[in-house]
C-alpha cells in the first residue's frame, strides 16, 4: 500500500452481520411474507441469488431463496456460511406427506434427513453419503425444539379463518431428492423402500438433506420446518402454487416470528 493511500476504514461495510440467522426457502412464494417484515432491508446479489439482510423480531437475519433441488440448496447454504457468515440456518418451506396421517396443512419439523435418491451401492450401502459413513444427518436439537414450539403455538392459535382446523405438528425423518414425487404408486414405493432400509420418513421434499450435509461439514446448526402442501400422489401438482401463497407462506411467517421471539 502506498503511503498516500487512505488508511482503511476501521469498520468497513461487511456482508457478515454480527450473529445472523439465515432463513432459507426454496421458492420465492414461500419467502414473500418474511421480506415484508424485514426492518432496514438491504439486498445483496451473489451467485445469481438475492440475499436480504435486515432485522426481524430484533434479530439479525439473512433471508435467501435457494431455488429448487439439492444442488441449488447446497450452493445457497455454502454462500450463506462462507460469504455472509451466518451462525445458524433455518429452512421453511413445503413438502409432500409420505407417512400415513401426515396430511395437507400439517407441519413437519425435521429431526433428521436422508437423500432418498442417493445410491452408490454396492460400493456403499444404499442412501449412505460416501466418506461420511452415514445416511442420516440430524437437525440441531436446540433449534429444532424452538421450531417445534413455534409451530405448535402457531397451530394452537385460535383462528376462525384457519383453513385446516385439524392440522397437526409432526417431528421425524424428512427425505430429499431431485424429484417432485407426484404419483400414489411412486410415493408408496419410495416409502416402502426407505422403510426397508430403516428410514421411516414423514415427508419428502427436494432440498433439506443437502442443506443438512453442508451445515454438518461446516459445523453450522440447522433446523427445518415444512408445511405439507400435498400427499406426493397423483394430485400433488394441483393448486400447488396457490397453496404455497395462501397457506404455507403465512405459516412460515408466523412460525419464523415466533421462533425468533424464542431464540
Ligand atoms: N410448482 C413449482 C414447483 C415446485 S417443486 C414451480 O413451478 O416452481 C416442489 C417444491 O416443493 C420443492 O422445493 C420441494 O422441496 C417441495 N415439495 C413439495 N411437495 C413435494 C413433493 N411431493 N415431492 C418433492 N418435493 C416437494
pLDDT digits (tens, 9 = 90+) for 143-193: 999 999 999 999 998 665 677 888 999 999 999 999 999 999 999 999 999
Question: Is residue 219 exposed (0-12), middle (13-18) or buried (19+ Cβ within 10 Å)?
Answer: exposed
Distance CA 237, CA 215 (A): 30
Residues 241, 242, 243, 246, Cα dihedral to 10°: 130
Residue 254 resides in a domain:
yes
Q: Calculate ∠ Cα 133-139-142, nearest 5°.
A: 135
Residue 10 resides in a domain:
no
pLDDT digits (tens, 9 = 90+) for 74-131: 999 999 999 999 999 999 999 999 999 999 999 999 999 999 999 999 999 999 999 9
227: CA distance to ligand 1 center in Å?
Answer: 11
Characterize the bridge pairing of strands 88-97 and 201-205: antiparallel
Residue 201 resides in a domain:
yes
Which element (helix H / strand E) includes 95? strand 88-97
Residue 158 resides in a domain:
yes
Average pLDDT over the chain, rounded to whole? 91
Residue 127 resides in a domain:
yes
Residue 5 resides in a domain:
no
pLDDT over 70 (residue 65): yes
Residue 6 resides in a domain:
no
230 is catalytic: yes
Task: Among 24, 25, 27, name the best residue to mutate to test ligand 1's pocket (greatest count of ligand atoms within 8 A of Cβ).
Answer: 27
Residue 31 resides in a domain:
yes
Identify the domain containing residue 139 by its residue range.
21-262
30 is catalytic: yes
- CATH number of the domain at 173, please: 3.40.50.1580
Number of domains comprising the chain: 1
Taking each continuous run of H as one helix and of E as one strand, the counts in the chain are 7, 10
Amino acid at each position: 500500500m502506498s503511503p498516500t493511500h487512505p488508511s482503511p476504514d476501521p469498520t468497513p461495510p461487511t456482508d457478515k452481520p454480527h450473529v445472523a440467522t439465515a432463513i432459507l426457502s426454496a421458492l420465492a412464494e414461500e419467502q414473500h411474507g418474511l421480506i415484508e417484515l424485514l426492518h432496514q432491508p438491504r439486498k445483496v446479489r451473489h451467485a445469481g441469488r438475492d440475499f436480504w439482510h435486515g432485522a426481524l423480531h430484533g434479530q439479525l437475519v439473512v433471508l435467501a431463496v435457494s431455488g429448487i433441488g439439492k444442488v441449488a440448496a447446497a450452493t445457497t447454504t455454502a454462500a450463506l456460511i462462507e460469504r455472509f457468515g451466518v451462525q445458524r440456518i433455518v429452512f421453511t418451506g413445503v413438502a409432500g406427506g409420505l407417512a400415513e396421517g401426515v396430511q395437507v396443512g400439517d407441519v413437519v419439523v425435521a429431526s433428521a434427513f436422508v437423500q432418498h435418491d442417493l445410491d452408490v451401492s454396492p460400493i456403499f450401502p444404499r442412501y449412505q453419503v460416501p466418506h461420511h459413513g452415514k445416511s442420516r444427518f440430524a437437525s440441531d436439537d436446540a433449534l429444532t425444539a424452538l421450531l417445534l414450539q413455534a409451530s405448535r403455538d402457531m397451530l394452537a392459535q385460535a383462528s376462525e379463518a384457519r383453513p385446516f382446523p385439524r392440522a397437526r405438528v409432526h417431528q421425524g425423518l424428512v427425505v430429499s431428492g431431485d424429484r417432485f414425487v407426484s404419483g400414489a404408486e411412486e410415493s408408496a414405493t419410495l416409502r416402502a423402500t426407505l422403510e426397508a432400509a430403516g428410514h421411516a420418513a414423514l415427508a419428502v421434499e427436494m432440498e433439506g438433506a443437502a442443506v443438512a450435509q453442508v451445515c454438518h461439514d461446516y459445523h453450522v446448526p440447522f433446523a427445518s420446518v415444512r408445511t405439507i402442501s400435498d400427499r406426493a400422489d397423483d394430485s400433488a401438482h394441483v393448486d400447488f402454487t396457490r397453496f404455497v401463497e395462501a397457506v404455507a407462506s403465512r405459516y412460515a411467517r408466523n412460525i419464523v416470528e415466533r421462533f425468533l421471539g424464542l431464540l
